[in-house]
A and B are shown apart, each in its own frame.
Chain A
Amino acid sequence: MFQALGTHGPVLSPMTSLVLDIGLLVAAFWLLATPSKKSLGDTLLLLTLVLAVSAARVLMQPLPNIQPVTVAALIIGAQLGARRGAAFAILVAMISNAIIGNGWWTIFQAIGWASVAVIGSKFAIIANGELQRNRLFVAAIASAFVFDLIVSFSIIDSSTSIVSFLTYLAHGIPYDLLHALGNLTFAVWFGSWFADVVAEEIVVEEVELMSEESIIYHA
């Protein structure tokens, strides 16, 4: 199982790491596959977004706690729904961590961004097909703290007291604020554009599906 248990979470054995990856992958595909089957175009769109945002995360890794994934998860959750948003979050965490560094924290990052996607789907960021910019800004800032808190749970083990965990959180506040500021910047600069990209693809796909149904009906 775990090779070691330290203050920074367990060090995973290769087998445990494999099981973890398989578990995350199964969770992602389960979220994608149910409740209704999606078209190939729908899946390709999501995979394209996953790859693009993973690449953005890897490229921006040198910048401290600047996380383009958070705002992307928020908007995808709002546009495509909680399930696909959560699947997106899990896949991005897995793929980008394969380059940046995989470990115990991947689970928490996947949960963190999946939670952000759920927030996006519930926070009415998209209303009547329109992006609510102010809501997006508020959600982007709040998501930073939600995500950072969830990821912070990865350090808890049997030796971690409440006081030491709170101290740990206190130490990280500057980086939480930077994450929030980074999210706000992404939302201001790219929020509308990204929401449009996702929305446009859905519209095209729906039109194509409708056309196909129409052809079948007339035949």
Chain B
Amino acid sequence: MNRLQKLLILCATFIIINTGSVSAISNPSEDDQIYGFEAQWAKQFNGGYVTTAPLIDNATLFVRTSGMWVGQERPQVFAYELNGKELWNHTNQNATQHDMSPLKIIEAGQGFCGNWSKQLIIAWSDGLIESVEPLTGLRKWQYQSEVNVWGITGSSAQDEDKLVVTTRTGIVSLCLADGSLIQNATTDLGWRNGVTITETGYLAGDENGTLWHLSREGNLTSYPLAIGKIRHPPLITDAGIVIHAQGDGHSTIALLDENYSIINTYSSGSSPAMPIMIGQYLVTGDSSELRSFDCSNNCSALSSLTFTTNGEMAMGLDGQFMVPLNTAQGGWKGFTLVENGLLEHVRGFQPGFSTYTTAAPAVYSEGDSDWLVLANDASRMVVYWRGLNDTQPIEDLDENTTANDENNNNNQILLVVIFSSFCAMLFMAGKPEQGKKFSILLILLVAIIAIPTLSTQWSNKVDDISADIGIEDSIDGVEGEWNQSWPEQWQGTQIIIIEIDGQKQMMGGYSGFDNVLQLTNQVAIDLNISITSQQSDIGTYVTSFDGHQGQGWEFFVNGSRGSFSADNVAIEESTIVHWIPA
């Protein structure tokens, strides 16, 4: 066997081992039928989340994934035909944080700075703003904005011939024709702080609770509101400007007058969702409740329902607005505003998968067909259809794309069987040296496949032994056991406590997360806490929460100090993770 053959075998082995990261498209189960909609196709993306609503335009579906700036996978944007055929996908290798800036379609037009054709705007956490042709994904232009740990996480808006984007460090406006910079104003740092176009210019908030106004002439004015972090585009209502700001353990809904002075405020639950306007009514959500306000005059509170939502809300079909339920149960609920703006729960959309959910759905109507696309924090997206006639819009999916995760396991088993047979044949053919060589390669292959499971079991065994012989490495103040003051529904679930500046922020009721990092990332999204982390050869380490780097961070699992990096410490269904400054 020559050197080239050896190399080819190793390369093939390497490729097959890595097939586990291939995403899959599949037929959903027959249970995936909801209120007249039938599931047509589903897509399970590589790790991470879908935390931003998919977008359907002209029968083309766009969706972005998020949460993958460590490990091997990276966030992507996909374009599909509504029958499931993938048109293109873009991967960003430079992600630094959650990629949750909503995708935006800009229709063709012309203005002072030139003519532009229809384009899809993609803004990334590495600060890159891309304009691509929607059907091909070919880039038209790009602009690199400033990055401070992360880049763009908020929504963009169109102002005639300009695209206005809140970057990490300010507000930029770009010519839609060629992406050339028109305005660049520096504000304080922001996160998910989308921009709003007003008659006089642009409005955006920041992490310090300051509202910024940038006039079209370039005058930048700041209005410190001191009500918490502003993590959504300000809303313009008949009564004034509305902001739902995030404080410590609570939130504040504020109404501002035309001079950006607070007229009145309303205190609500923690981790607010992005509020929306439905006609004259304002709808807000947070970890405690969903609320409606009448903003025709002074945004007076109308009604509330107990609910947990922390992401996006959007108008659905049949006059309902749809709200993701950010609990372990997950799914979406449809609400309407009945007479006088009172909230009424209409129905729930609980597809065949339950997990935390923060992305609004996408809806689309064309002819006799309605489309509904739901995607969740487990990176699973299902496309539903309903029609006035019974003809299925999709007769068959491309067979080449019906592989699922089981195929990856089958590939691995097949590889092992082939290798084993080959080794046996070499020994039988009187070539023991070659047989030994391939045998050791086979053993290595099996070990690589088995190592995640083995190491988890081994770690559990080590922990058990440590506990048996009385090794306790915990410190005072670390929560390691069930606390009677916690909500009863958290019993037996995954609970996490993050202690920032002496303030304990805690969430519970989670399940299904395999390691500390996964759970922490999810909770960070739910609590609107930003995380920075550092990847090393021996794992991924969280270096700051909400910008608090301090003397480093360490975590405890059920009261015991984490021995590995957060992505290498497995957790079970009933686990308490406590992050404290070192």
Q: Which residues of A contact B (CB under 8 A)?
A: 3-8, 10-11, 59-64, 66, 97, 100-101, 103, 105, 109, 151, 159, 161, 163-164, 167-168, 170-175, 177-178, 181-182, 184-185, 188-190, 193
Q: Give the top 7 A-B pairs by smallest Cβ distance, nearest first.
A: A6-B552, A4-B552, A6-B582, A174-B455, A7-B554, A101-B535, A185-B444
Which residues of A lie under 8 Å from residue B448 when comparing CB positions? 63-64, 66, 178
Q: Is the interface of A mostly helix, strand, loop or mixed?
A: helix
B473, A163: Cβ atoms closer than 8 Å: yes
A5, B437: Cβ atoms closer than 8 Å: no
What are 17 A-B pairs at a CB distance below 8 A? A4-B543, A4-B549, A4-B552, A5-B551, A5-B582, A6-B554, A7-B561, A10-B552, A11-B549, A59-B14, A64-B452, A103-B536, A109-B537, A161-B473, A173-B458, A174-B454, A177-B447
Which chain B residue has the least Cβ–Cβ distance from A8? Answer: B541
If A171-B459, A188-B436 touch, does A6 touch B551 (CB 8 Å cutoff)?
yes
B444, A182: Cβ atoms closer than 8 Å: yes
Residue pairs across A and B with CB atoms within 8 Å: the count is: 109
Centre residue among B437, B554, B582 by max chain A CB count within 10 A: B582
Bound CA span A193–B5, Å: 13
Which residues of B lie under 8 Å from residue A190 when comparing CB positions? 6
Bound CA span A50–B563, Å: 32
Which residues of A lie under 8 Å from residue B440 when comparing CB positions? 181, 184-185, 188
Bound CA span A182–B444, Å: 7
B443, A164: Cβ atoms closer than 8 Å: no
Which residues of A lie under 8 Å from residue B549 when comparing CB positions? 3-4, 11
Which residues of A lie under 8 Å from residue B17 when comparing CB positions? 62-63
A119 CB → nearest B CB, Å: 20
Cβ-neighbour of B458 out of A63, A101, A174 (below 8 A):
A174
Contact with A along B411-455 (1 / 0, CB 8 A): 000000000000000000000000011001101100110011011
Which chain A residue has the least Cβ–Cβ distance from B543? Answer: A11
A9 CB → nearest B CB, Å: 9
Which chain B residue has the least Cβ–Cβ distance from A172? Answer: B564
Bound CA span A186–B569, Å: 29
Which chain A residue has the least Cβ–Cβ distance from B445? Answer: A185
B565, A8: Cβ atoms closer than 8 Å: yes
A7, B3: Cβ atoms closer than 8 Å: no
Contact with A along B468-491 (1 / 0, CB 8 A): 000101000000000000000000
Which residues of B lie under 8 Å from residue A61 when comparing CB positions? 537
Bound CA span A121–B28, Å: 60
Which residues of B lie under 8 Å from residue A6 when comparing CB positions? 541, 551-554, 582
* Given A5-B582, A6-B553, A105-B537, 20 other A-B residues pairs in contact with their CB atoms under 8 A: A4-B551, A4-B582, A6-B541, A6-B551, A8-B552, A61-B537, A62-B18, A62-B72, A63-B14, A64-B448, A164-B563, A167-B466, A167-B473, A171-B564, A172-B564, A178-B448, A181-B444, A188-B436, A189-B10, A190-B6
Bound CA span A11–B72, Å: 22
Let me know if B91 is at the binding interface, CB within 8 A: no
Which chain A residue has the least Cβ–Cβ distance from B465? Answer: A170
Contact with A along B38-60 (1 / 0, CB 8 A): 00000000000000000000000
Contact with A along B1-29 (1 / 0, CB 8 A): 00100100010001001100000000000
Which residues of B lie under 8 Å from residue A101 when comparing CB positions? 534-537
Which residues of A lie under 8 Å from residue B14 when comparing CB positions? 59-60, 63
B415 CB → nearest A CB, Å: 14
Which residues of B lie under 8 Å from residue A109 when comparing CB positions? 537
Which residues of A lie under 8 Å from residue B582 when comparing CB positions? 4-7, 159
Let me know if B538 is at the binding interface, CB within 8 A: yes
Which chain B residue has the least Cβ–Cβ distance from A170? Answer: B462
If A5-B582, A11-B549, A170-B462 touch, does A178 touch B541 (CB 8 Å cutoff)?
no
B538, A5: Cβ atoms closer than 8 Å: no
If A63-B14, A64-B448, A159-B582 touch, does A105 touch B563 (CB 8 Å cutoff)?
no
Bound CA span A170–B459, Å: 8
Bound CA span A168–B10, Å: 32
Let me know if B109 is at the binding interface, CB within 8 A: no
B441, A163: Cβ atoms closer than 8 Å: no
Which residues of B lie under 8 Å from residue A66 when comparing CB positions? 444, 448
Let me know if B249 is at the binding interface, CB within 8 A: no
Which residues of B lie under 8 Å from residue A100 when comparing CB positions? 535-537
Which residues of A lie under 8 Å from residue B3 when comparing CB positions? 193
Which residues of A lie under 8 Å from residue B6 when comparing CB positions? 189-190
Which residues of A lie under 8 Å from residue B114 when comparing CB positions? none
Which residues of B lie under 8 Å from residue A170 when comparing CB positions? 462
Bound CA span A101–B437, Å: 33
Bound CA span A184–B440, Å: 8
Centre residue among A64, A103, A185 by max chain B CB count within 10 A: A185
Which residues of B lie under 8 Å from residue A10 when comparing CB positions? 552
A67 CB → nearest B CB, Å: 9
Bound CA span A23–B308, Å: 53
If A63-B14, A103-B536, A167-B466 touch, does A175 touch B552 (CB 8 Å cutoff)?
no
Which chain B residue has the least Cβ–Cβ distance from A6? Answer: B552
Bound CA span A163–B472, Å: 9
Bound CA span A10–B17, Å: 34
B441, A189: Cβ atoms closer than 8 Å: yes
Let me know if B218 is at the binding interface, CB within 8 A: no
In B550-575, the 8 Å CB interface with A consists of 550-554, 561-565
Bound CA span A191–B379, Å: 43
B437, A189: Cβ atoms closer than 8 Å: yes
Bound CA span A171–B538, Å: 12
A179 CB → nearest B CB, Å: 10
Bound CA span A164–B454, Å: 21
A64, B451: Cβ atoms closer than 8 Å: yes
A1 CB → nearest B CB, Å: 13
If A11-B549, A109-B537 touch, does A178 touch B447 (CB 8 Å cutoff)?
yes
Centre residue among B14, B458, B536 by max chain A CB count within 10 A: B536
Which residues of B lie under 8 Å from residue A60 when comparing CB positions? 14
Which chain A residue has the least Cβ–Cβ distance from B569? Answer: A171
B85 CB → nearest A CB, Å: 29
Cβ-neighbour of B455 out of A175, A185, A189 (below 8 A):
A175
Which chain A residue has the least Cβ–Cβ distance from B1? Answer: A189
